Amino acid sequence: MQELFAQSPRGTALTHRIAIDAQLTHTKVLVVSADGTVAPVESPVTPRWLPLDTSGTRRVPRIRIRAGVSVQIDGTTAELVDLSTKGAQVLSATVLKPNQRVRVVLSIEPDTTRAVGPVAWATFELLKGTPEPRYRAGIEFSVAEAEPILRFCLMHADDSAPPRSG
């Protein structure tokens, strides 16, 4: 398979399915790089925090973030629930409305990275036992750098959470 596809969520899912299929135990999966070199696929074992999208419907995997990790949304603090290179789910005391364009700032020592995009969806939550209402929202990044976001995910992933593929 092509190197870029092998590194994508769908490529990872395909490699994993081949690895666990008893009928394909003797199948070799090779990766062809841009310069034409061929190498066997690295171990298909996926870290627990990296969700495997077995249905192939997600553009990129969502990584569950451990509780208490915050980000800035238009200068206001919000708690991060999960994160991907294409977006984030947050909990905020500040009103977030669908189609509202926001700026998200992630602090990655010693730097920060910014992502910009619209709120894709939002719900108002008033939970029993909590003093304040909050908004749960999904933000779809239209401008974001993948590498710093992935580093942030590695630093703040919730290793105890089950993988999210949906």
Q: Write the DSSP assignment of 47-100 as a string of letters.
A: -TTS---TT---SS--EEBPTT-EEEETTEEEEEEEEETTEEEEEESS---TT-
Domain-located, residue 127 = yes
Q: 36 and 89 share a domain? A: no
Position 124, amino acid = F
Q: Please state the domain count of the chain.
A: 2
> Which pTM does this prediction carry?
0.62
9-32 residue pLDDT tens: 777 777 777 777 778 878 888 888
What count of other Cβ atoms lies within 10 Å of the Cβ of residue 22?
A: 5
Residue among 54, 51, 32, 52 nearest 41 (CA): 32
Domain span at residue 117 reads 63-156
Residue 45: pLDDT above 50?
no
